[in-house]
Chains A and B, each alone.
Chain A
Amino acid sequence: MAETSGKFLAPPKALTARAEFWAGVRDETPLMFGVIPFGLVFGVLGVESGLSSLQTILLSSILFGGASQVVFAQLWAAGVPAFIVGGSVCVINMRHLLYSASMAIYLRPLSLRWRILLGYLLTDEAFAVSIRRFQHETPGPFQHFHLLGSGLLLWVGWQISTVFGVVVGETIPESWSLSFAIPLTFIAVVAPILKSRADLAAAVTAGSLAVIGQPLPWNSWLLLAAIGGILAGWLVHHFNQPAGGAA
């Protein structure tokens, strides 16, 4: 790094750890409007699908990943064999590899303890705001506190809203169809990110396979649809690349 610009060696005004932390909290705040309703819905659904209150609440800290928790609760409730439940959760959470790979250059220099903590806190939403800080703002010696701030706010919000959902969920009658809030939450996430033809191919394939695959044993339709959708998106993406482009 000897040839790096002077800006890097002597940042104009390096932020303190505290300032980085609160910047992370502040940047994460707008995303909480999506996270808290989702946490509530998960809490309600977890209990509704037959998990105990304790299992539902602890799932939020053991898995700490919304979509995978929903899938875990629903598949487990349906009496699906453990390896299908586990396999589905794993496929859903594989995407985190991308996040930790992108974060690696910024976090590798930290101590093991820091990397374990920040790895645990590395979710979709925390990644989204903190990678922006790492890539686009002046590097600082305490920049990892930004991810600590965004990740911790998300973690606390997710735990509290789950507990709230569990408590409230026990009093909500079935006729309110509150479990429909799950597909609605996912619609809110997916609809705006469908941009390319490859995205559409992934969505259409996954959706179709999910319906066609319903009679399959052990609710394996989800795993089938997910893998099929990923494959379809990847194939369209791959063959749509301009000739001679990077493979």
Chain B
Amino acid sequence: MIWLVMIAAGLFTFATRFIMLSNIISNRPPPWLVDALGFVPIAVLTAIIVPAVLIDPASQKIALGDNPRLFAAILAIVTALVTRQVITTIGVGLAALWLLQWAL
């Protein structure tokens, strides 16, 4: 079953990359769709980030004050804005999380 879903999702993904290069569709996507697709990365990635940061994995509840992941994430956001580097952002965020988990 898992293989079937993997392959179906893979075929769909390939289709999104290939279809405009094929002769099946000759028009560009309509402007409203182009605008909407432009928001996909922000919407999807933020939807993954926020629960991973705010929701405590043990209790499955929102944690604000006593939440080392929230502080680590805030530090990581600042790092990302300043350095624009993925590897530095991961490094600072993980280091902050480890330090806080060890200190608390």
Taking Cβ atoms with an 8 Å cutoff, the residues of A that contact B are 33-34, 37-38, 41, 51, 55, 58-59, 62-65, 67-68, 70-72, 76, 82, 85-86, 89-101, 103-104, 107-108, 115-116, 118-120, 122, 124, 176-178, 180-194, 198-199, 202-203, 205-211, 214, 221-222, 225-234, 237-238, 246-247
Contacts and interface: CB of A to CB of B under 8 A. Distances in A.
Interface of B: 1-10, 12-14, 16-22, 28-29, 31-55, 60, 62, 69, 72-73, 76-77, 79-81, 84-87, 89-90, 93-94, 97-98, 101
Given A191-B81, A230-B43, A86 B8 contact: yes
B93 A203 contact: no
B16 A184 contact: no
A63 B9 contact: yes
Contact of A225 (B1, B7, B37, B47): B47
A97 B18 contact: no
B48 A187 contact: no
Interface hub of A62, A122, A124 (most chain B Cβ within 10 A): A62
A214 B55 contact: yes
B12 A90 contact: yes
Given A37-B86, A184-B94, 6 more contacts: A55-B2, A62-B9, A63-B13, A221-B51, A225-B43, A237-B39
A103 B16 CA distance: 12
A234 B6 contact: no
Contacts of B39: 198-199, 202, 229-230, 233-234, 237
